[in-house]
Structure 1
Amino acid sequence: MTFRLFILLVLLTLIEVYAFQAVRTVTKTKWVQWTYLAVSLGTLFFVFYQFTKFDRKVGQTPMTMLTIGLLLLVLVPKLIMILVLLAEDMFRLVLGAKNFFVQYDAEESFIPARRKFVSQLAIGLAAVPFLSLVYGMTKGKYNFKVRKETLYFDDLPEDFDGFTFTQISDIHSGSFDDPEKIAHAIDIINAQASDMLLFTGDIVNTHATEMHPWVDLFSKIKSHPFGKYSVLGNHDYGEYIEWNSAAEKEQNFKDIIDLHRQIDFKLLRNEHVNIQKGASALALVGVENWGVKFKKAGDLAKASAGLDPNAFKILMSHDPSHWEVEVKSHPELYHLTLSGHTHGLQFGIEIPGFIKWSPVQYVYKQWAGLYEHTGRYLYVNRGFGFHAYPGRVGIMPEITVLTLKKGRPVA
């Protein structure tokens, strides 16, 4: 850990030295330069100090999240600045070589001086991610968006034509710091007046106690006519910290399971329930977490045991990699799978009809929104809460409303 911190400190120092060239080129005023250095280096010192204080037995705390946020605030804009400066330096090097070898002039410097407007451009471009990250930490993390999708199935049971359900995912209650914003989000959920509510995992970051201040608020999610159901996510198993004993870890897991009862969610652990409406029924299947890179506690065979192979099935599985690896090519048809987990990395660009991008797409093929494969659908919720970085930029917290329709969409 100490060696890693040392490498991080060296890298951050090199980035700081290089990025400072832009500031020094734009202004020769010493007090401006020194103020910039004092703020920047002071922030880096704080970040470095907090990393040395990180306790693996405690895990993520509000201070940890603030530290990560500050690190991104000082790092990402400077990386943008460096890209611009590097491009200019390559041009300066080529121009210097030309001056030296082709049209040698002893009075000319080998490498021309930096151009002020290029450094101004670098700082201007760097301001975009800086302001975006600040917005994400102050406003974006609670900028809840309702996203609606209508899905058509030829074999949807007759009585479920027009059936609606609200999906939320990745609450991460240990990250919250504003009860009024969470209360507003609960009001949004209730306003959808769906037939059923489905939560696809990660109720906490690690500890069951993180949810205790929020139980009363989440208990205000109204009863839905066909119930409120949930599954577990990777963070619900307490896998990411060091526990004092196996018994302590197990008790925390039991307490997390009990949280679902406290907020009136029916937790499905590798099991299914039949949802009856009129003379029709559909199967709601819930598996524990199963992820390519994370805990594989989900058991689809166990969860579906006894089900009619021809039943209309909705699967709740936290990690979308489960759908990619097992579900979409399963011998039995799971009509719709609901996942979360990725958060859309809480950072990206989404302009409907034009662009949908996040760095997380290079890790997960399915990372946000609706996907389809041979008539099997997956919806990946962008997450209700936030984790690690205490904000959201471009990928806003999501409350999803899905409507099931029989037949095919009208062209």
Structure 2
Amino acid sequence: MNNKPILDVKDIPKPGQWFTLSLQHLFAMFGATILVPYLVGLSPAIALISSGLGTLAFLLITKMQVPAYLGSSFAYIAPVIAAKAAGGPGAAMVGTFIAGLVYGIVALVIKKAGHRWIMNLLPPVVVGPVIIVIGLALSGTAVGMAMNNPAGKYSLLHFSVALVTLAATIIFSIYLKGMLSIIPILAGIVVGYIYALIVGIVDFSPVLKAHWFEMPAFIIPFVSYKVKFSWDIILLMAPVAVVTISEHIGHQLVLSKVVGRDYIKEPGLQRSILGDGTATIISALLGGPPKTTYGENIGVLAITRVYSVYVIAGAAVFAIIFGFIGKVTALIQTIPTPVMGGVSILLFGIIASSGLRMLVDSKVDFGDKRNLIISSVILVIGIGGAYIKVSQQFQIQGMALAAICGVLLNLILPGRQSADENMFEVAESPEKRKTA
């Protein structure tokens, strides 16, 4: 792969070039970043602002060496929905804060003990099936959004909007080339929205009424809600954080290959994990969803060979500005549910498939009973929605329980192999990554 940079990591682009290149990164992350808050009932505007602030914090913590953009994490959709159902938006923000703290604790341990232990704790035979669970556990949500009208009943008209959106997203993923191949989610949403306008299920009036500048309704701790930590929230969010840390490691390995640097050693995995956790904590303090590094933006780096952290910082500033433009927020909120449902069918499937790809690329041998048992238990417990309920305040459920069982089985069962860093690489080259 030719990764000779057009602009290297510390290079500052010319103003016109800077604007265009940063806008590309904004478009790459935009569709997925606004989809998560849409699904969990949070503000897309706050998601944009927190992603921008979180990315700037990440860049500073990694000493302006790692050109990564941080957007909304899909892994936390089910836990955030469950936390909101249990205790409202405040509980979801407390859970998001806890997830960020887990990142900080792991970063501190890596700083003291090195990074091999986390790779031994979370091999692909554990992480792959958990990622599959993350995608498939949400499949019912995606299909319901696609098929049902606002009253929750089946509607062929609404389903047609979802199918048009899905078809457009697939076509853009397969046939678009270069930079355009990185934004199939955004392009699919635009086509679906236009079709929804044609069939008459879009109410455009909120956009006309909205102000150009508008302050989002931030969810601030001790102001918007009473902060309360509980074991059920901790057990809901913390295990997922451990899994997304392994995804973070995978992204850092891929990014290292693209840029031609070893980011595991310098600035160090502890710094990038701390940056990711800090971005998630910032999001929790504002009312946004948890954050993660984005494969879409790694794909932009690979295609453009522009590795400048200043371009990433420019995209972050654009995201913050967009979050305060009321008409943009209003436009996002007029997107019909089946449009998002159509995109989600593909996106959640891709999440599940990326877990399967991790198993294939890491050459996990399912002829080995140990691997077969670990993956089987994770899949059935996670997708089946099993839970352990000791009391009203203490329960472990679904994805969290599946992750814990996977980690324990990996530690207990005989025949465990030493981790290899390459295991964590989602081996398909970044140029081919259409969505993350």
TM-score tier by shorter-chain length is under 0.3
TM-score normalised per structure 2: 0.21
The structure whose residues are more often helix, as a share, is: 2
Return the structure number with greater relative CO, CA threshold 8 A, min gap 6.
2
TM-score normalised per structure 1: 0.22
